[in-house]
Structure 1
Amino acid sequence: MIALFEDSNCMDSHATAPFAQNSWLRASSTCRVTSDRYEDNVTGESIILDEQTLTRELQVAIDEENYTEAAKIRDSLRLLKEDSKASVLAANARFYNAFRKGDLAAMQTLWAKGDNVCCVHPGASGVLGYDDVMESWELVWMNYEFPLEIELKNISVHFRGDVGYVTCVEFVRTKGSSWGAQFVTNVFERIDGHWFISVHHASPVDL
């Protein structure tokens, strides 16, 4: 069993009882973080929906043997997937969808496999290696009721080559609790054409 949850003085809305929550945030509060801003995680979610819509439309065009239309849709889908900014945002949205639902199976597919991946839950030491990172999520979610309420603010995305990262302020509320906030950095790697998360680092926001 990996050693987590050592600092009881740190608020964490990722965690279960071992993390004491000593900072709270009203849902209407705003956080002063300087970044290139997006209103919320709708950007990433809309990209996922665009991918799904184009994929469905492509299949319809193929079924109808409308190959001219199918080629256009295929090109649009390819361009969307090749757009690094859009792809990183979509990968970030998938990460938060799994987080929101407490879906360990989905989370397992989103992380890069290897000993170099790292996850830092608020108030805890860094967890290294794919297997221990997955175990850490299972432990964190142990006493949660899903789905969680999660909102992202001040989203900024950066990328170069096959590495991209997203910074944001993550607001999480569990059932019966107040909002908790973390400043988050999520690092993604492009492996075989797909973006996988390799680092998740969440630190409490002192408002």
Structure 2
Amino acid sequence: MKKILLVTGILLFGLAGLMVAITDKQAPAPLRTSLEYPQARVLAPFRLTDQHGQVFDNARLMGKWSLFFLGYTSCPDLCPTTLGKLAAAYPELSALAPFQVVFISVDPQRDTQAKLLDYINFFNPEFIAATAGHEQLFPLSRSLGFVYALVGDGDDYQIDHSASMVLVSPAGERVAVIKPSASPGQALQIRNQDLIADLGQIIRRHRD
């Protein structure tokens, strides 16, 4: 009887350990710098022009992951810093799945096609830089969860804009927002290692 109880106890203990191992394996690691939306949402229809003079619209989101970032070429710090970091992370990001980085300029008055081409080529010619009139930019920004506002008068105006990024699925659906964070004594930033880890996890989850 004692032997039966002992064997039963060992089996139950082993089964419990196996269940814990399976649960731990299935439980995803917490996202480091991103927030996945409870429900994916299709972006509202939009039509922009990219740095090559080609139409950039919802159709060009199909079949690949898109990482959107809002800004303008005259931005003094945030935009060049972010695009530089994305250029460094791009080889690992593009290895995860078909992937594109999309820089949306909210300064159509100054950001001509030629200026966008020169600007984005400095960081990575494979990136997309696109803009349109504010009648297109405002609804697209809202659909992505971004905001922007022109500040100042004359030709030297600045533009306040969101510092986050948004991940859009190959179905053209907004699935996650990537937000900057700050350590004590440091400026807000999105760390590349956190970005790559989060997007890898999200892409794998949507692929399964």
Tell me the TM-score normalised to structure 1 length.
0.24
Structure with a larger share of its residues in helix: 2
Tell me the TM-score normalised to structure 2 length.
0.24
Larger Rg: 2
